[in-house]
Amino acid sequence: MTEPRASWPRRAYVVSHTHWDREWYLPFHRFRVRLVDVVRRALDALEHDADFHHFLLDGQSVLLEDYFEIHPEDRSRVSRLVQAGALAVGPWYVLPDEFLVSGEALVRNLIVGDRVARQVGPPQKVGYLPDSFGHIAQMPQILRLAGIDTFVFTRGTGDELDDLGWEFLWQAPDGSTVTAVNQCDGYCAAGGLGFEAMSEAPTERAIDPARAVAQVGALFERMRPLAQGDICLLSNGCDHDPPQQRMGEVLAALRQAFPNTEFLHASLGEYLDAVKAGGYARRRHRGEFLGGKRQLILPGVWSARMYLKQANDAAQSLLTGVVEPLAAYTQFLGARSYPGRLIDSAWKSLLQNHPHDSICGCSVDAVHRAMMTRFDGVLHTGDQLVRDHLRALAPGVAPESEGDAGSILVVFNPLPFRRTEVLERLVVLPDSSEPREGWELIDGDGHTVPFALVRYHRVARFWGTDFLTEWQGDRQLDAFEHAVESLGDRVMADVEGEAADRYYQMHILASGLPPVGHVSYRLQASSGTKGRGAAAEQGSIRAGADWVENDLVRVQLHSDGTFDLHDKASGARYQGLNRLVDEADVGDEYDFAPGAVPGTVTSEGVAGRVRLLVESPWLARLELSAVWALPESIMPDRATRSTSLADCAIRLRLTLRHGSPVVEVDLTIENRARDHRLRTAFPTGIVSDTVLSDGHFILSQRPLSRPERPDWVQPPTGTWPQQDFSLIQDGTRGLVLLNRGLPEIQATPDAAGEVTLWLTLLRAVGWLSRDDFATRKHTNAGPMIPTPEAQCLGPQHFRYAVASFTGPALAAGVPRLSSAYHTPIPTVQGVAAGHVPGGQGLLEVATAKTMVTAVKQHDRRDSLVVRLYNMTGDPVEETVTVGRAIIEAWRIDLLEERLEPVPGTGNRLVIDLRGHEIVTLELVLESHP
């Protein structure tokens, strides 16, 4: 209950700040020139203006690094102000978009942000995310586990705010709760007080006290209906603004105009302390914020510049999925020390791509070119670390040393559960090592490892192909295929008398790979059939010109790129999967907008050429080549599509492996069209009213349909964000669509209620923002600047997969299926002498109800950090087993501070997790002998 209007609010907290987009409509370096001026002015105001008590440096500590790189002499000056409580820094490293980065990336953001801020003083303990485009359901738990119990935000609310009010309690799925404050009118609500226009705030113009009074009075009127107490927040700042000028003059005018209100120039923390002390946050909300009633939510960013999302996914997956577990494992074995500083450096570069204007793809072209350079740096660092740590397990191949005792293939499983996978890789051997009777692979127990030699080339020995043995997976095979095509004169199958090596393309059945561990396979002469691995005939793959099957599924590929899937276990049949659908997009980087005439084109009727590309008993791959004619662009009226067509070449590859239900899709399209959205449709034939998507430490269940809400600032759309997969299920069967870096999904029912999953592949637009389309009600989301590179012309490569399952998704092991698809197994070939025998794993979790998101070394101690979460809403007892005796075990927070000891026996811990709980463990292990 609020007090009478004349006396509301009793107290107003004026919090001065700047909101700093490091890169957006200008590139980073141009904005940094302005940052130097803003920080200098803030420091001067804090030191010399008696009425200016506090300044919030936007909650992201990267700005300290940006500033100190130019003015390192100001470090002590900044430190004094931070330690005095006058300048607020952190808790984040950057202000991220929450839905387009992984849950683990959000945790690392807080870790790095805390570390950087503490170099000058204690970080502010406020969950400040003023401009993120929506908020994930688990954010309250993430904040609480970082020692933060408050949250301040702007975007994402719908009708629920009418009941909650500006101040409320936000609860995570596990029950963790923070005091949340939604900023009425956003973080700029009280910015530029006394100026006619916000654009005048950075200038040296004189302020108008009467205008400041009018601004605040109007804001009070808008705030009061949803106020839950007698205090309010006045966010005094805006994008790239310096501190409010003449603060004393402004405050004096406000105090005179509103004599019943106490105006305090204060910190965000002081305001939030008053909210908690007054008990103003009473009503509770549980769940994510993705509404657009009062602020734009901008869902089109989930598919703008999809190449950024793919690069980010690759970088995140490399660091958390391979580099950190592998580095922890090699340290565990005593084979190589943990490269903490290199990994930290890679994480910093990656996090600098996570601000919303960056990863969302809604900036000028120069910004996103710079992002790709950062992504490349992360991937290069990660690739080299993988190479070096695998080399610690097996010394490098030396073809000139043909007297080596034997060749070893090291296979590392980064995941915390046992895996059986069919691997593809090249094995390179000296010419003279070719045995008369062929090859066999022998594991550490002396058992034969099934494999097939698919093909081989005899290649002249020269430096141009040496690097191939160090690359992984598809990249290695694609590079070799290109080398064979481009260097034909070096491929000398019948030329004698020159030093050469034999390059074998192999399909290997790697069975029972230890969890976070490796095995070593010895390649040696065999008495079997030359060119075939022993027991190769045991594989279940069979294939024809346009079909492939194993014991679990059968796939039929059609000339238009669609395929049919038959699940042999359940008998379920899915027809017409992967139908490509293209339509006009007259929107911008922020939002999709269909044309007045959508001009929809489908792949139906495309007559491509299908062939069987690769076949062995362990793996088969079908390929379709086709040309798809798409409208070149939209017309100048931005309502219809051009009648001129652009021929877009398509290459589609389907891969099926022995023992796997997963149909892997690899699609490359030469995009020569502009202004369009490309999606692929998967009709499931399943009746459901919800779609289940992989999220941030949770499986998110969302409705298929949403209220239209035409009165909202931005009405809901049909699309949703996802992480690694989305699925439709009815309790007896389901279909899951896996992806690598494709974060936008939609699920629509037909007249019979049967659901089709729509995966967005590409959204090609030419403007940062526009104000002439209906899906955003003719409102700009940013400056109207052309962005021709957002049309994404040229070859576009997409990787996704589909699998049928029986029963509920968790019971069917769908999350682990997704993890395996998302985490290829790294391998390396080396010499037998000096290799590290495998077989022992570092870490294993027993149940499929929890998901491990981190296996790494502690930031400051020589111990192992493991993070996992409960995917269910029910309590789970999880057993964690490690490869050596546990000396100490602790529950720690997300900043890796110890909370409480965990009892255990030997090398095993039993952990109790609440429904949806995130748990981080620190394990001090027995030293390596």
Please state the rounded mean pLDDT for residues 505-514.
95
Least confident segment among 20-24, 127-131, 439-443, 447-451? 439-443
Which H or E run contains 135?
none
Domain ranges of the chain: 5-297, 407-538, 542-822, 842-929
pLDDT tens figures, 620-647:
999 999 999 999 999 999 999 999 999 9
The answer to whether the beta carbons of residues 799 and 666 sit under 8 Å apart is yes
pLDDT of residue 3: 43
pLDDT of residue 237: 97
Is the pLDDT score of 5 beyond 50?
A: no
Name the token pair of 184: 């009425």
Please state the rounded mean pLDDT for residues 122-151.
99
Please state the rounded mean pLDDT for residues 561-566.
99
The per-residue pLDDT of the chain, averaged, comes to: 93
Is the pLDDT score of 797 beyond 50?
A: yes
Confidence of residue 459 (pLDDT cuts 50, 70, 90): confident
b or e along 607-627 (b: 16 or more beta carbons within 10 Å of the residue's beta carbon)? ebebebebbbbbbbbbbbebe
Cα–Cα separations (whole angstroms), residue 772 to 361, 639, 676, 780: 20, 11, 16, 8
pLDDT of residue 183: 98
Query: Which overall architecture, per CATH, does domain 542-822 show?
Result: Distorted Sandwich (2.70)
Q: Which DSSP category does 246 fall into? A: T
pLDDT tens figures, 733-782:
999 999 999 999 999 999 999 999 999 999 999 999 999 999 999 999 99
Rounded to whole angstroms, the Cα distance separating 726 from 743 reads 10
The three-state secondary structure class of 226 is helix
Is the pLDDT score of 406 beyond 80?
A: no
pLDDT of residue 403: 43
From the list 44, 109, 31, 121, the residue with the least C-alpha distance to 70 is 31
pLDDT tens figures, 42-97:
999 999 999 999 999 999 999 999 999 999 999 999 999 999 999 999 999 999 99
* pLDDT-above-90 percentage for the chain: 85
Rounded to whole angstroms, the Cα distance separating 878 from 392 reads 32
Dihedral angle sign, alpha carbons of residues 878, 883, 887, 888: negative
The answer to whether the beta carbons of residues 900 and 116 sit under 8 Å apart is no
Is the pLDDT score of 534 beyond 60?
A: no
When computed from its CA atoms, the radius of gyration of the chain, rounded to whole angstroms, is 29
Specify the CATH class of 842-929 in words: mainly beta
From the list 466, 393, 468, the residue with the least C-alpha distance to 425 is 468
Rounded to whole angstroms, the Cα distance separating 223 from 166 reads 8
* pLDDT-above-70 percentage for the chain: 92
From the list 664, 704, 700, 623, the residue with the least C-alpha distance to 818 is 664
Rounded to whole angstroms, the Cα distance separating 762 from 801 reads 17
pLDDT of residue 455: 84
Global confidence as pTM: 0.96
Rounded to whole angstroms, the Cα distance separating 777 from 774 reads 5
The answer to whether the beta carbons of residues 851 and 868 sit under 8 Å apart is yes
Please state the rounded mean pLDDT for residues 491-520.
82
3-state secondary structure 143-173: HHCCCCCEEEECCECCCCHHHHCCEEEEECC
CATH fold of 5-297 reads 7-stranded beta/alpha barrel (3.20.110)
Please state the rounded mean pLDDT for residues 851-878.
98
Rounded to whole angstroms, the Cα distance separating 873 from 871 reads 7
pLDDT of residue 498: 64
pLDDT of residue 398: 53
Q: Which residues contact 273 (CB under 8 A, 6 or more apart)?
A: none
Query: Which overall architecture, per CATH, does domain 407-538 show?
Result: Sandwich (2.60)
Q: Could you tell me how many residues make up the chain?
A: 929
Domains 407-538 and 842-929 equal at CATH topology level = yes
CA angle 884, 888, 890 (to 5 degrees): 120
pLDDT tens figures, 289-338:
999 999 999 999 999 999 999 999 999 999 999 999 999 999 999 999 99
Residue 33's φ and ψ, nearest 5 degrees, are -55, -40
pLDDT of residue 399: 46
DSSP string, 894-907: TT--EEEE--EETT
pLDDT of residue 494: 52
pLDDT tens figures, 322-334:
999 999 999 999 9
Dihedral angle sign, alpha carbons of residues 131, 135, 138, 141: positive
Please state the rounded mean pLDDT for residues 704-732.
96
